Copies of this chain bind each other. A is one copy, B any other.
Amino acid sequence: MANMADKKMVDAITSMEEDFAKWYTDVVKKAELIDYSSVRGCMILRPYGYAIWENIQKELDARFKATGHENVMMPLFIPESLLQKEKDHVEGFAPEVAWVTQGGDQPLTERLCVRPTSETLFCEHYAHVVQSYRDLPKLYNQWCSVVRWEKTTRPFLRTMEFLWQEGHTMHETAQEAVEETERMLNLYAGFCADALAIPVIKGQKTEKEKFAGAQATYTIEALMHDGKALQSGTSHYFGDGFAKAFGIQFTGRDNSLQYPHQTSWGVSTRIIGAIIMTHGDNNGLKLPPYIAPTQVAVIPIASHKPGVLEKAREMTDCISAFCRVKLDDSDQSPGWKFAEYEMKGVPLRLEIGPKDLEKGQCVLVRRDTREKITTPLSELKAAIPRLLQEIHDSMYAQALARREEMTYTAATPDEFRKIAQEKPGLIRAMWCGEEACEAKLKDETGVTSRCMPFDQTPVGDVCACCGGPAKKLVIWGKAY
């Protein structure tokens, strides 16, 4: 029975080598992260999926507050006239918003869009509350959901509604705003490394790829298992463009009237897609320990034998003082449970049976390496936190090694095209700075510029598209 159940669980996931997209969908469904609803393109986050987001939120929010940011709530709706105040911004977003045209049984005199992002609402508020340089900086953030009317959707990666945080800040000088943009990008990169075990590349987006209305967009890019890149967080510098459009002015230190300088930055539930596709394997999810809803699954073996269940309960209570632990005392077989918690990506499994009881020990099994570590019960308090850190470090190292292995350098247009066709992964190559070349590479190879990395050590001197003189190092790749 146990074997059949195991087999059923494992058979149920398509292997990533066979069909990566199907593997992904199988994992999100079978690990019970999401459910679909009758609302096209919207997902339901089930308890296990939402608990991952809660842990992400808790960790990011603490980092935001430690850097002086405060949370607020802006309205869900943006009147059409407000959305239209900044020209580039409305052009970028108007085609993909949901419009409310009726309230109760009355048609509205002005339609309201459901916020796709909230720059316009923050700016309207800042115009009320920023009067003097003493009111600056304003460092606000909001946790909410936004809506973008997407044609094709995939859980976490692209959905009509998604959860995110959006930071919106106002500063006295351009320099302070630029520093904020960089600070938040570094905060995101540190969070990805420390909490998610995901190595990211930090860089600046090209003109073509930047945010609607921004002067500069910075990004963190991660490499997925299938060689595609995933933009995992962005930070935008706006200059004073919105401030001028919204009439936000303050009296400066020299008593002159000035426009403040603005940033915005965001991370969304998309990052859960990055976790799945960076770490997952053919047994399912593999969660980084610091955001895993359950860090240790306790599984009693032969739990009908005297003392086993009692000891398992006692251990669970004891462990809960220093990590997130769950006892599974259901009547499913141990084999079924092993497969289940592997599927759900629980970093450590703790097995305890009659023989372990006699010896005062248990068996810890790592999800990432499947290594079994027999551990005296008296040492669990030291062993579990140490193992969680080891798992985290090892997951990070493995993801980094894979990214390095799958990152290629192309010095000439010929090399670029050959690599783009034959090797999934990232390409480091030079660029002349012309948007036409970016567009051409995309047409020919499906590859887009992911970012101009902060480390600009050149890898050649000609543009990977036209062969003309190179200006910038760019990381290229196919992307989600």
Point out residues on A near B: beta carbons under 8 Å.
35, 37-39, 42-47, 50-51, 53-54, 70-79, 81-82, 95-105, 111-112, 114, 121, 124-125, 128-129, 140, 144-145, 147, 149, 161, 163
| Complex: chain B residue closest to A78, CB-CB | B39
9 of the cross-chain contacts (CB-CB < 8 Å) are A35-B128, A39-B77, A44-B75, A44-B121, A96-B104, A97-B104, A99-B101, A100-B114, A114-B114
Q: Is the CB of A99 within 8 A of B97?
A: no
Q: Report A166 CB to chain B, min CB distance, Å.
A: 14
**Contact residues in B for A76 (Cβ distance below 8 Å):** 42, 76, 114, 145, 147, 161
In the bound complex, how far is the Cα of B145 from the Cα of A145, in angstroms? 10
In the bound complex, how far is the Cα of B145 from the Cα of A114, in angstroms? 13
Q: Report A141 CB to chain B, min CB distance, Å.
A: 10
In the bound complex, how far is the Cα of B120 from the Cα of A39, in angstroms? 12
**Contact residues in B for A81 (Cβ distance below 8 Å):** 38
Q: Is the CB of B100 within 8 A of A71?
A: no
In the bound complex, how far is the Cα of B72 from the Cα of A43, in angstroms? 11
**Contact residues in B for A147 (Cβ distance below 8 Å):** 76
Q: Is the CB of A75 within 8 A of B161?
A: yes
* Given A44-B74, A73-B163, A77-B42: A103 and B35 interface contact (C-beta under 8 Å): no
In the bound complex, how far is the Cα of B42 from the Cα of A100, in angstroms? 14
In the bound complex, how far is the Cα of B42 from the Cα of A129, in angstroms? 18
Residue from B44, B71, B112 in contact with A51 in the complex, judged by beta carbons closer than 8 Å: B71
In order of increasing CB-CB distance, the 4 nearest A-B pairs are A42-B75, A47-B70, A45-B73, A99-B102
**Contact residues in B for A47 (Cβ distance below 8 Å):** 70-72, 140
* Given A103-B149, A114-B76: A37 and B124 interface contact (C-beta under 8 Å): yes
* Given A47-B71, A47-B140: A161 and B39 interface contact (C-beta under 8 Å): no
| Complex: chain B residue closest to A73, CB-CB | B45
Q: Is the CB of B39 within 8 A of A112?
A: yes
Q: Report A93 CB to chain B, min CB distance, Å.
A: 10
**Contact residues in B for A82 (Cβ distance below 8 Å):** 38
Other A-B contacts than A39-B112, A44-B125, 16 sampled, CB-CB below 8 A, are A37-B74, A37-B75, A39-B78, A39-B79, A39-B121, A42-B76, A44-B75, A47-B140, A51-B70, A77-B161, A95-B104, A97-B104, A98-B102, A99-B102, A100-B100, A101-B101
Q: Is the CB of B72 within 8 A of A44?
A: yes
**Contact residues in B for A73 (Cβ distance below 8 Å):** 44-45, 50, 53, 145, 163
In the bound complex, how far is the Cα of B102 from the Cα of A111, in angstroms? 10
Q: Is the CB of B99 within 8 A of A72?
A: no
**Contact residues in B for A163 (Cβ distance below 8 Å):** 73
In the bound complex, how far is the Cα of B107 from the Cα of A111, in angstroms? 13
Q: Is the CB of B37 within 8 A of A125?
A: yes
In the bound complex, how far is the Cα of B98 from the Cα of A125, in angstroms? 23
Q: Is the CB of B79 within 8 A of A38?
A: yes
Residue from B35, B43, B99 in contact with A129 in the complex, judged by beta carbons closer than 8 Å: B35
Q: Report A261 CB to chain B, min CB distance, Å.
A: 20
In the bound complex, how far is the Cα of B98 from the Cα of A83, in angstroms? 19
Residue from B99, B121, B129 in contact with A103 in the complex, judged by beta carbons closer than 8 Å: B99
Most chain B beta carbons < 10 A, residue from A39, A74, A140: A39
